[in-house]
């Protein structure tokens, strides 16, 4: 049985600070924390001037969309989607494209201490292969967009999801999800069918909700209901589900989502950049909803850096709510770890505690901007950069050590991305 012990000046163990201690890991699972040096049966790992934290969980991404990073900036959401993003995806979407840009995204995720992702896109089997090879956890969603009158295509999609469930049912890293895009691209009948399917197969339903004022108006125009009311009528709140954005909510909708214990993925940097508005996450939390953090896709963020995202969430809401005590460092960290694990239905990740998977990141405090240290967790939220993350482990397996990726060929990933960008630039000029 493989036994490892990891020493750091500071550990966030059982959601409490522990100093000058060892994290004990047996065969990929955490078995304890001790101040005593472990015996010779352990392989010892020392992290000087460092802290060990649970690794981060990103609850809303579109990973292959890194191919559009910086492609169409400074535009409103629907102009951005309809005139730039969707035409480019229609031209370039393929298994090869999805594979290459998922690899690039995974490299970026690992560098920022992220061990698990809830993604919404297409060619899910190709993405799952990348995740398995890299050793990263993923709840990988099969995207749904309605094609009016094309029932055959929809039936094929549902059969494909059933095949993916069978393929990955015993994979400890991969979970399959179903992802109807939004109420303006997916019909109520399709949502009902997806709800029935995910309940039958115990899958996660992952969707966008109330991201813009336009979406709210469009929902009312089509169906006579706001998006939250529509989702409730379709049973989406009564299955395992994650809702991205949730920006334009009234008090009744907040109350309902609180009562339903809805899982919300707060994508603040994306919403700021697209000027979509500001999700009322303080009110949602008070109402009983489970708030998590997502980066959204790199086409609208423009990165997948959860360290930066946590910092923005912590700072913005203090100013927005005119209260320095709103969303403390610990509150924000919980959104990116154990709240996120709960949202995805993962019962043994998101915390460092006995019996949990050894998913953790190592953060260096050696740089000038990280000194002096009075509160390690506060520093993680308010001072740290992703460059301070020096190591990442998933189920006890090293994905990055000393800042070097162990399971991804980063140079090749960057070279492949550059090759794609040259093709896309040439196409765009035609």
Query: For 224-238, how does the pLDDT look when each residue is reduced to its tens digit (9 = 90+)?
Result: 999 999 999 999 999
Query: Topology of domain 56-343, per CATH?
Result: TIM Barrel (3.20.20)
Residue 238 CB neighbour total at 10 angstroms: 12
Lateral strand order in the sheet of 114-121: 56-61, 114-121, 137-144, 174-180, 204-209, 241-245, 263-266, 290-293
What is the spatial distance between Cα 208 and Cα 196, in angstroms, rounded to a whole number?
Answer: 18
Specify whether the CB–CB gap between 177 and 139 falls below 8 A: yes
Domain 3-54+349-405 class in CATH = mainly beta
Specify whether the CB–CB gap between 59 and 340 falls below 8 A: yes
Residue 150 has pLDDT above 90, yes or no: no
What is the spatial distance between Cα 281 and Cα 266, in angstroms, rounded to a whole number?
Answer: 8
Q: Where in the chain is the domain with CATH 3.20.20.140?
A: 56-343
Tens of pLDDT, residues 62-116: 999 999 999 989 987 788 888 998 899 899 999 999 999 999 999 999 999 999 9
With bands split at pLDDT 50, 70 and 90, how would you rate the model's confidence at 148?
low
What is the spatial distance between Cα 139 and Cα 271, in angstroms, rounded to a whole number?
Answer: 23
15 CB contacts (<8 Å, ≥6 apart)? 334, 338, 351
With bands split at pLDDT 50, 70 and 90, how would you rate the model's confidence at 429?
confident
Write the secondary structure of the chain as one string of H (helix), E (strand) and C (coil).
Answer: CCEEEEEEEEEEECCEEEEEEEEEEECCEEEEEECCCCCCCCEEEEEEEEEEEECEEEEEECHHHHHHCCCCCCCCHHHHHHHHHHHHHHHHCCHHHHHHHHHHHHHHHHHCCEEEEEEEECCHHHHHHHHHHHCCEEEEEEEECCCCCCHHHHHHHHHHHHHHHHHHCCCCCEEEEEEECCCCCCCHHHHHHHHHHHHHHCCEEEEEECCCHHHHHHHHHHHCCCHHHHHHHCCHHHCCEEEEECCCCCHHHHHHHHHCCCEEEECHHHHHHCCCCCCCHHHHHHHCCEEEECCCCCCCCCCCCHHHHHHHHHHHHHHHCCCCCCCCHHHHHHHCCHHHHHHCCCCCCCCCCCCCECCEEEEECCCHHHCCCCCHHHHHHHCCCHHHEEEEEECCEEEEECCEECCCCHHHHHHHHHHHHHHHHHHHHC
Q: Which of 143-157, 300-314, 349-363, 399-413 has the lowest mean pLDDT?
A: 143-157
Specify whether the CB–CB gap between 230 and 236 falls below 8 A: no
Specify whether the CB–CB gap between 106 and 304 falls below 8 A: no
With bands split at pLDDT 50, 70 and 90, how would you rate the model's confidence at 430?
low
Q: Where in the chain is the domain with CATH 2.30.40.10?
A: 3-54+349-405
Looking at residue 393, what is its pLDDT? 98
Residue 357 has pLDDT above 80, yes or no: yes
Radius of gyration of the chain (CA): 21
What is the spatial distance between Cα 369 and Cα 379, in angstroms, rounded to a whole number?
Answer: 9
Q: Distance from first CA to last CA of the chain, Å, rounded?
A: 59
Name the percent of the chain lying above pLDDT 70: 99
What is the spatial distance between Cα 231 and Cα 245, in angstroms, rounded to a whole number?
Answer: 14
Lookup: tokens for 24: 């004990």
Q: Write down the mean pLDDT value for the chain.
A: 96
C-alpha closest to that of 363 among 52, 108, 114, 16: 52
Looking at residue 222, what is its pLDDT? 97
Residue 61 CB neighbour total at 10 angstroms: 29
Residue 145 CB neighbour total at 10 angstroms: 16
What is the spatial distance between Cα 334 and Cα 313, in angstroms, rounded to a whole number?
Answer: 12
C-alpha closest to that of 77 among 147, 181, 177: 181
Lookup: tokens for 194: 């997806």
Task: State if pTM tops 0.95.
Answer: yes
104 CB contacts (<8 Å, ≥6 apart)? 66, 413, 414, 416, 417
């Amino acid at each position: 049985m493989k036994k490892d012990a990891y020493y750091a000046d500071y550990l966030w163990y059982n959601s409490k600070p522990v100093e000058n201690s060892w994290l004990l890991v047996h065969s990929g699972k955490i078995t304890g924390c001790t101040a005593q040096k472990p015996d010779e049966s352990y392989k010892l790992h020392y992290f000087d001037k460092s802290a060990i934290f649970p690794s981060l969980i990103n609850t809303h991404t579109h990973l292959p969309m890194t191919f559009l990073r910086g492609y169409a900036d400074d535009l409103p959401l629907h102009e951005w989607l309809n005139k730039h993003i969707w035409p480019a995806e229609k031209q370039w979407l393929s298994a090869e494209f999805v594979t290459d840009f998922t690899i690039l995204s995974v490299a970026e995720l690992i560098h920022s201490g992220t061990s698990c992702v809830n993604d919404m896109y297409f060619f899910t089997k190709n993405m799952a292969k990348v995740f398995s090879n890299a050793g990263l956890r993923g709840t990988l969603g099969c995207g749904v967009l309605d094609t009016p009158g094309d029932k055959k295509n929809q039936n094929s999609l549902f059969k494909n999801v059933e095949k993916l469930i069978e393929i990955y049912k015993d994979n400890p890293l991969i979970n399959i999800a179903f992802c109807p895009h939004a109420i303006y691209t997916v019909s109520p009948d399709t949502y009902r069918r997806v709800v029935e399917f995910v309940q039958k197969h115990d899958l996660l339903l992952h969707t966008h909700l109330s991201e813009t004022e336009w979406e709210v108006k469009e929902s009312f125009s089509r169906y006579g209901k706001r998006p939250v009311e529509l989702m409730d009528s379709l049973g989406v709140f009564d299955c395992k589900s994650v809702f991205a954005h949730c920006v334009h909510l009234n008090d009744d909708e907040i109350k309902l989502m609180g009562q339903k214990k809805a899982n919300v993925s707060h994508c603040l940097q994306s919403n700021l950049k697209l000027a979509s508005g500001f999700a009322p996450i303080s009110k949602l939390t008070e109402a009983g909803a489970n708030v998590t953090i997502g980066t959204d896709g790199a086409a609208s963020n423009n990165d997948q850096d959860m360290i930066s995202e946590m910092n923005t969430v912590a700072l913005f809401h203090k100013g927005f709510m005119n209260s320095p005590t709103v969303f403390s460092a610990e509150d924000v960290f919980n959104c990116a770890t154990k709240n996120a694990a709960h949202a995805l239905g993962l019962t043994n990740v998101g915390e460092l505690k006995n019996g949990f998977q050894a998913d953790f990141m190592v953060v260096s405090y050696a740089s000038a901007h990280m000194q002096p240290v009075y509160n390690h967790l506060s520093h993680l939220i308010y001072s740290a950069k992703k460059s301070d993350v020096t190591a990442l482990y998933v189920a006890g397996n090293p994905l990055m050590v000393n800042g070097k990726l162990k399971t991804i060929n980063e140079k090749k990933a960057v070279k492949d991305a550059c090759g794609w960008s040259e093709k896309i630039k040439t196409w765009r000029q035609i």
